[in-house]
Structure 1
Amino acid sequence: MDLITLTGLRVRGNHGVFDFERRDGQDFVVDVVLELDLGPAAVSDDVRDTVHYGELASRLAEIVAGPPVNLIETLARRLVDACLADERVARATVTVHKPQAPIPLTFADVSVTMSGAR
């Protein structure tokens, strides 16, 4: 399998279990790895033969900016499902980072990684 990787997609969302997270929102960062056969696109040189990563980024951003969920696990699953909506994708791995998570200690990042396959 070949890979398409999208890293560092930063989108404002209102996810979290606390009222202030849902009210004020925060930035979420999304990384995606798609596993698929890129041979047809390499031969045809036609964007219609691959996953258009710009369109994928827009769809993922819509989900992150959309209706809030309590857990980034739920958000990650929705993003995986969106990636797998394209039948050419054999496997999708999504990491959702929540760098401003409400943790009363110094930390660099909190993230959840989920995968899904056909």
Structure 2
Amino acid sequence: MADKIILKRMSFYGYHGALPEENKIGQRFIVDVELDTDLYAAGVSDNLERTVDYAEVYNLVGKIVEGPACVLIEAVAERISERLLKTFPQAASCRIRVTKPDPPIAGHYESVGVEIERKRSMAYLGLGSNISDREDFLKKALIALSEINSVRLDRCSSIYETDPYGPVGQDKFLNMAVQIETLLPPQALLEEIQRIEKSLMRKREIHWGPRTIDLDILLFNQCRINTEKLSLPHPEIPRRAFVLKPLSEIAPHVIVPGMNRSVIELWQSLNAEEGVRLWKKNNGEGRFGLFEN
């Protein structure tokens, strides 16, 4: 996005730092902010309500810099980016630079600082359960997802009952997919969903075995990642009917990166309808469109 709101060299006094004198005496901080947002509507209407209020940006940044102290200016920058993106939903991303012009450390330099870029991301998650009260575990997982500070739950598929995948004999699963908007990077999102799994007594004792809850990141924007802990897109998407059927309900035309095929195309080519049965339709009523209030 080419349009930007820019505030440069905002100056505040705060007490952030790892050294005792920084916390006691304080120092000046310089903050630069860039918000990527579409300014066309504001430009043609000349209406303040169609753009980002610069004064509000300044005040929000000032409250953070002049507020509770952080050890690292990296944390200050993160707090600023999170607050701005939550306050201004029309901003797609932001760049934050926090500078200490006069840090109390020996040496010859002009200043020290950090610069970060954060953006809204769209991700799709798969959920599954085949132990105990399967529906209740799905519901608890959705509630936990919605309570993550930097996650917004946008859409939920219907719930499907599916035959077990893999060689382990076990009960049938309930599966679904959800679309979220998040300010978290992929690895941080993975850590959050693993925390939810742990809180819901997920045990990883048998590969492809029974589980109270299973949460997988299926897609994250158009990212392609392959590390020891995380692979995106999820490598099993094209082979898993219990993933493709609910995902095709909420994201049929999303292209799976690296495969150059849409979700609905992958589902249609799998031809595994017999292993996936509608269990509860999302009718838009109750919490998440699936559960009564």
TM-score under structure 2 length normalisation: 0.40
User: Which 10-residue stretch deviates more, 60-69 or 42-51?
Assistant: 42-51
3-state DSSP of counterpart to 2:90: coil
Query: Cα deviation per residue 1:5-32 (whole Å; 9 max; x = unaligned)?
Result: 1000000000001111011000000001
- How far the C-alpha of 1:103 sits from its partner, in A, is 1.9
The answer to whether structure 1 residue 11 and structure 2 residue 7 are counterparts is: no
TM-score under structure 1 length normalisation: 0.97
- How far the C-alpha of 1:82 sits from its partner, in A, is 1.7
Structure 1 runs (4+) deviating above 3 angstroms are none
Match of 2:57 in 1: 56
The answer to whether structure 1 residue 113 and structure 2 residue 100 are counterparts is: no
- How far the C-alpha of 1:53 sits from its partner, in A, is 0.6
Contact kept? 2:18, 2:72, Cα under 8 Å: yes
Match of 2:82 in 1: 81
Alpha-carbon distance in 2 for matches of 1:30, 1:23: 21
Alpha-carbon distance in 2 for matches of 1:55, 1:88: 14
- How far the C-alpha of 1:99 sits from its partner, in A, is 1.1
- How far the C-alpha of 1:106 sits from its partner, in A, is 1.7
Alpha-carbon distance in 1 for matches of 2:12, 2:83: 16
Match of 1:90 in 2: 92
Alpha-carbon distance in 2 for matches of 1:103, 1:22: 14
- How far the C-alpha of 1:52 sits from its partner, in A, is 0.4
Alpha-carbon distance in 2 for matches of 1:6, 1:43: 22
**Considering only CA atoms, is the larger Rg found in Structure 1 or Structure 2?**
2
3-state DSSP of counterpart to 2:13: strand
3-state DSSP of counterpart to 1:40: helix
Alpha-carbon distance in 2 for matches of 1:83, 1:31: 13
3-state DSSP of counterpart to 1:90: strand
Please give the residue correspondences for 1:4-43 in structure 2 after superposition, counting only pairs within 5 Å: 4-43=5-44
Residue identity matched to 1:116? R
Residue identity matched to 1:58? N
Alpha-carbon distance in 1 for matches of 2:17, 2:105: 12
Q: CA RMSD in A?
A: 0.8
Larger RCO (alpha carbons 8 Å, 6+ apart): 1
Q: Which runs of 5+ in 1 are unaligned?
A: none
3-state DSSP of counterpart to 2:91: coil
Query: Cα deviation per residue 1:64-115 (whole Å; 9 max; x = unaligned)?
Result: 0000000000000011112212100001000000111122012101110011
Residue identity matched to 2:68? P
Residue identity matched to 1:68? A
